């Protein structure tokens, strides 16, 4: 794995890699193409690295949902090194999404 990048915004090369890996928005059930998604830090920067293992594609709707309705009473996400995302809904149900390229 490449070392983390030293800034908030991923380089074009890293963003392209994440989009190719994910292929779509990583929110459960969403099929918005990755080319129309934001590249989101799972652990917010600067606490989490700008690295493929901490980045995923989210459409704007789901990016805003995670940002403003996240935390203990909202949607939570955990990212594994292979790009798998474990989502926990407000009702505590879990959903797993895997990169579309797998």
Q: Where do the structural domains in the chain lie, given as residue ranges?
A: 12-97
Q: What is the pLDDT of residue 78?
A: 97
75-85 burial, b if ≥16 CB within 10 A, otherwise e?
bbbebeeebeb
Q: What is the pLDDT of residue 24?
A: 98
User: For residues 23 and 16, is the Cβ–Cβ distance under 8 A?
Assistant: no
Residue 66 makes CB contacts below 8 A (sequence gap 6+) with: 27, 40, 58, 75, 77
Q: Tens-of-pLDDT digits for all 102 residues of the chain?
A: 788 999 999 999 999 999 999 999 999 999 999 999 999 999 999 999 999 999 999 999 999 999 898 777 899 999 999 999 999 999 999 999 999 987
For tokens 């915004």, the residue is 9
Q: What is the pLDDT of residue 73?
A: 83
């Amino acid at each position: 794995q490449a070392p983390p990048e030293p800034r908030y915004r991923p380089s074009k090369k890293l963003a392209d890699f994440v989009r190719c890996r994910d292929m779509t928005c990583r929110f459960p059930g969403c099929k918005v193409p990755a080319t129309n998604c934001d590249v989101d830090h799972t652990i917010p920067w600067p606490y989490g690295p700008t690295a493929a293992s901490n980045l995923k594609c989210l459409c704007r709707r789901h990016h805003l949902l995670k940002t403003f309705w996240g935390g203990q009473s909202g949607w939570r996400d955990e990212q594994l090194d292979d790009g798998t995302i474990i989502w926990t809904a407000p009702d505590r149900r879990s959903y797993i999404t895997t990169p579309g390229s797998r």
